[in-house]
Structure 1
Amino acid sequence: MQELIRQKLLEIEKEHELKVLFAVESGSRAWGFPSQDSDYDVRFVYVKKPEWYLSIDDKRDVVELPIDETLDISGWDIRKALKLFRKSNPALHEWLASGIVYRDELGFRAELIQMRNELFSPKTAMLHYLSMANGNYRKDLQGDHVRIKKYFYVLRPILACEWIEKYRTNPPLLFQQLVAELVTDADLRREIDELLHRKMEGDELDLEPRIDVIHAYIDDRLERLSACASEYAGSMPDQTARLDELYRRYLRLAWPE
């Protein structure tokens, strides 16, 4: 599959006249809880030729391939990525933390990783993960019987919020690391570990009775985190000049001719 993904990226470069600066896995595979039939969520940042940016009209700054049962591939233009990085975009922070890397060109990804802590806003990240947890909870975990694999898509953002609350830093990408560090209740840990084992072994994990100990934890944390999220400071130093220089430099590096 990795070879197929790399080939798709080469095809994207040729068809759209761009250069991929880095491409990584996102979603459940990067988070550490894929099922045997999980698709591949590939995300990348690219740079177009200099003349593409010299236009009086705005242009589409996203490249997306049609999604199929196996592959979901999309990418952001470098300017879009850096604008979002300036705002501490949590999705881009996760791409930079991914341990599954398909392409890594010219050192761009390494430079952004070095800047991650300077461009991290605890408030932005907390509100992002809290919104994700609340939305997934309302959508997937109501009633006496739930699709219990959906617990992971509520637990992970809640644990990310707890990490931010405790350390004021970017939360780890891997679900297992968050659990090991933050889940101290033995009954809760046992239920989470059993669900994780079943999911990764290929159990369907379809509709089943709700798991009370996990539900109680989710209810408690969502209420508490929602109450304190607004207290976080949201300001960061303005890094526009630094990011402008980064953009211009990688435009030259990608297209030296």
Structure 2
Amino acid sequence: MTEIQLEIIRQLRAIEAEENVRILYACESGSRAWGFPSKDSDYDVRFLYIRRPEAYLSIFEPRDVIERPISNLLDINGWDLKKALLLFRKSNPPLLEWLQSGIRYEEKYSVAESLRRISPLGFSPKSGIYHYLNMAKGNYRTYLQGSEVKIKKYFYVLRPLLACSWIEQFNEVPPLEFSMLVETLIPGGTPLREAVNQLLTRKMSGEELSIEPRIEVINNYLEQLIAYFEKSASLFEAAYGVPDEQLDVLFYSALAEVWGEESSWTAALQEVRRPPGNAYGGN
């Protein structure tokens, strides 16, 4: 384990002690998970956590986000499992990305794998398309207008638009790895593919990518995709397939797995798992 990985684990343990929570899952997001970090890229650590059972019984809602001050090296924040499940119900793209990150710092419990297993049922192509399209449009508008542009920002428009194309073609959560998106969706041997590969090679080598003349072949491609998905986004499916009761069971099961068979939560779990019927025992 590297020194930075050890420091990330130390930070996670400190969060557990200070906040009286248990971390269920922790991973890398951002450019390192996407496969195009710069030499000076920080570590974007994201995690899911769960509080003690009595915290969820209080009439006062506990804070559902834990954040730590951003340093030059680390950006660490996480979501309460309850918040995460409500967002999962809406097919939240950032959460789905976290779950499939190839850089995982911790996964002690079964929650993350349970969510991965049911995520195809709850995936909403429309939600994904709109999320990635809006991300791409915002970055394009901010960084890639004019004759000279912030050249490294091409990745932050290319990746979300390729994610849109992946959803359109495969009807599933797009992979995090930028190289997989490029290899699958941009034909090899074309001027576009060559321009993207050259840019990626420069970034991965540690070259400082700042203000340079715009790359016309990439800009034209981005403009075409943005225009296309602006017209077609509303046509994608929006149905959610994971029953609310299943997410309740997952939440109660996580409480039992992490904190033990607390009597109040054991009773609640049994109630959730009981077949539908009259709450007072009638027909």
Using structure 2 for the length normalisation, give the TM-score.
Answer: 0.89
Residue 146 of structure 1, aligned match among 143, 149, 153? 149
Give yes or no for the alignment of 1:34 onto 2:37. yes
Task: State the SS of the aligned residue for 1:20.
Answer: strand
Residue 224 of structure 1, aligned match among 210, 221, 228? 228
Q: Which residue of 1 is the match for residue 267 of structure 2?
A: none
Corresponding letter in the other structure for 1:68: S
Q: Which residue of 1 is the match for residue 191 of structure 2?
A: 187
Assess if the C-alpha contact under 8 Å between 2:38 and 2:204 holds in 1: yes
Task: State the SS of the aligned residue for 1:22.
Answer: strand
- Sequence identity (%): 51
Q: Deviations over 1:25-60 (max 9, x none)?
A: 000000111011100000000000111111112221
Aligned pairs, number:
257
Task: State the SS of the aligned residue for 1:117.
Answer: helix
Give yes or no for the alignment of 1:233 onto 2:241. no
Q: Which residue of 2 is the match for residue 160 of structure 1?
A: 163
Q: Which has the larger radius of gyration?
A: 2
Give yes or no for the alignment of 1:98 onto 2:101. yes
Give yes or no for the alignment of 1:21 onto 2:32. no
Mapped to 2, the partners of 1:31 and 1:164 lie a distance apart of: 17
Q: CA RMSD in A?
A: 0.9
Q: Deviations over 1:179-220 (max 9, x none)?
A: 000001610001100111111111110000000000000011
Task: State the SS of the aligned residue for 1:116.
Answer: helix
Corresponding letter in the other structure for 1:242: Q
Give yes or no for the alignment of 1:246 onto 2:250. yes
Residue 199 of structure 1, aligned match among 176, 197, 203? 203
Q: Which residue of 2 is the match for residue 57 of structure 1?
A: 60
1:92-131 equivalences in 2 (<5 Å): 92-131=95-134
Q: Deviations over 1:134-164 (max 9, x none)?
A: 0110111111111100000000000000011
Judged with a 3 Å threshold, the aligned counterparts in structure 2 of structure 1 residues 20 and 152 are, in CA distance, closer, same or farther, namely same
Mapped to 2, the partners of 1:172 and 1:106 lie a distance apart of: 23
Mapped to 2, the partners of 1:73 and 1:86 lie a distance apart of: 24
Mapped to 1, the partners of 2:240 and 2:63 lie a distance apart of: 28
**Shift of the alpha carbon at 1:237?**
2.7
Q: Deviations over 1:213-233 (max 9, x none)?
A: 000000111001111001112
Assess if the C-alpha contact under 8 Å between 2:84 and 2:95 holds in 1: yes
Corresponding letter in the other structure for 2:257: L
Corresponding letter in the other structure for 2:62: K
Q: Deviations over 1:90-127 (max 9, x none)?
A: 00100011000000012111111111111100000000
Q: Which residue of 2 is the match for residue 255 of structure 1?
A: 259
Task: State the SS of the aligned residue for 2:106.
Answer: strand
Corresponding letter in the other structure for 2:146: G
**Shift of the alpha carbon at 1:238?**
4.7
Mapped to 2, the partners of 1:235 and 1:109 lie a distance apart of: 22
Using structure 1 for the length normalisation, give the TM-score.
Answer: 0.98
